[in-house]
């Protein structure tokens, strides 16, 4: 049998049977992650309102990147963070989940637009070990302000960063008037949420 003739049949089978299965599985898993996040927030004292997926906030995710999908959106009360989106990003290696804390910011107050800023962990050993210090790197002005905030540093070091997956990335979105504070899907401790809210406060001040 000509193997070349089988390839289109196999592709058609995958598209018709397996692809819908994996998409359905991803949808269920994404909803599960979002529900887990929503159940967690009241436990750390965060008040919120769940928003519809057709809300402007949810649509903002699509405007920022077509590669990521919103799994749910919440608007926060009494916080420097305006709303939070749980997102999923599919790749050839599977689906990864992230949390994005969005802050409405004025990004045109400086001559040069803000740059991305990242939290860098310093460990006790070059080959691993425990996190012993942190430093912000990226946008010179914002990084300097964050590095001089010793209460923020103390809060972050109290969160057991050894168990915190990934880092904290601050991404200005000049076209949309927001700044994203992005982490891997980590259920934030009270100290971590307070730290992220403190970063959001700096962003709201027009940095």
Using a 10 angstrom Cβ sphere, with 0-12 exposed, 13-18 middle and 19 or more buried, the burial of residue 201 is middle
Closest by CA position to 182, among listed 171, 193, 195:
171
Q: Write the pLDDT tens digit of every residue in 106-148.
A: 766 667 778 999 999 998 887 777 889 999 999 999 999 999 9
β-bridge partners, 69: 88
**Of residues 24 and 191, which shows the higher confidence score?**
191
User: Does position 25 have pLDDT exceeding 60, yes or no?
Assistant: no
Alpha-carbon distances of 40 from 52, 64, 100, 160, 187, rounded to whole Å: 19, 26, 16, 18, 7
The C-alpha angle with vertex 80 and arms to 78 and 83, in degrees rounded to 5, equals 85
CB 173, CB 179: distance < 8 Å: yes
User: Does position 24 have pLDDT exceeding 90, yes or no?
Assistant: no
- Tell me what percent of the residues of the chain surpass a pLDDT of 70: 83
pLDDT of residue 125: 80
Using a 10 angstrom Cβ sphere, with 0-12 exposed, 13-18 middle and 19 or more buried, the burial of residue 77 is exposed
């Amino acid at each position: 049998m000509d193997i070349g003739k089988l390839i289109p049949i196999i592709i058609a089978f995958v598209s018709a049977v397996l692809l819908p299965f994996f998409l359905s599985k991803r949808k269920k898993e994404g909803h599960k992650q979002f529900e887990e996040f929503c159940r967690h927030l009241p436990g750390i004292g965060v008040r919120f309102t769940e928003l519809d997926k057709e809300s402007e906030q949810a649509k903002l995710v699509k405007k920022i990147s077509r590669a990521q999908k919103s799994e749910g959106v919440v608007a926060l009360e009494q916080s420097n963070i305006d709303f939070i989106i749980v997102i999923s990003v599919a790749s050839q290696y599977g689906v990864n989940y992230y949390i994005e804390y969005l802050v409405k910011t004025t990004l045109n107050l400086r001559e040069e637009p803000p740059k991305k800023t990242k939290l860098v962990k310093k460990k006790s050993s070059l080959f691993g070990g425990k996190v012993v210090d942190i430093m912000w790197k990226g946008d010179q002005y914002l990084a300097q302000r964050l590095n001089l905030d010793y209460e923020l540093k103390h809060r972050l070091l109290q969160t057991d960063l050894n168990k915190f997956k990934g880092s904290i990335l601050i991404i200005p979105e000049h076209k949309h008037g927001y700044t994203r504070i992005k982490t891997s899907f980590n259920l934030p401790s009270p100290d971590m949420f307070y730290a992220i809210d403190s970063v959001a406060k700096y962003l709201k001040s027009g940095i």
